Structure 1
């Protein structure tokens, strides 16, 4: 099963690379980029589009990493609280057994 998964991932990576190359070849004309206060020099349209895609992916990863870190911190806090509650419950059980005898 692992071999099939790796083979599928490799085939998907090759297909994505091929699509990227075709996209770059189809969009090779130079285009200047106007960014609010400055105009960047003309580069291929594919470079601008793929650069924007990469930048968006990186920003998305960073933002989701922050959310994951927050959730992990909450999980650790909840686990700590659970451990403390279990210890307290065990102490109360032992106390209850000692008073019955």
Structure 2
């Protein structure tokens, strides 16, 4: 199953790269990018669009990583609490058996 997932991922990556190349070839008009305080030199429209797409993807990965890290930390804390609660429950059960004997 992991092999199939890997092959599918590679095929999707190549397809996206191919579409990116076709997009770049079709959109070769030079366009300046004007941010409020800085004006970039004219570059290919495809370059600006693909750079924005990549930057958005990178931002999404960073946010997802932060959320994932937070959830893993929370899960680790809850697992520690569960282990403590289980050991205390076992200790109390054992104490109850000893008291009855």
TM-score exceeds 0.5: yes
In structure 2, distance between residues paired with 1:41 and 1:7? 40
Q: TM-score, normalised by structure 2?
A: 0.90
Encode CA deviations 1:30-77: one digit per residue, 9 max, x unaligned: 100001111100000000000001111111111111111111111011
Task: Count the aligned residue pairs.
Answer: 101
Q: Which has the higher strand share?
A: 1
Counterpart mapping for 1:3-14 below 5 A: 4-14=4-14
Q: CA deviation at 1:15?
A: 2.1
> Where does the alignment leave 5 or more consecutive residues of structure 2 unmatched?
none
Q: TM-score, normalised by structure 1?
A: 0.90
Task: Report the counterpart of residue 35 of structure 1 in structure 2.
Answer: 35
Over the aligned positions, Cα root-mean-square deviation in angstroms equals: 1.6
Relative to structure 1, is the Cα distance of residues 74 and 6 closer, same or farther in structure 2, using a 3 angstrom cutoff? closer
> Where does the alignment leave 5 or more consecutive residues of structure 1 unmatched?
none
Where in structure 1 do 4 or more consecutive aligned residues deviate above 6 Å?
Answer: none
The answer as to 2:57 corresponding to 1:57 is yes
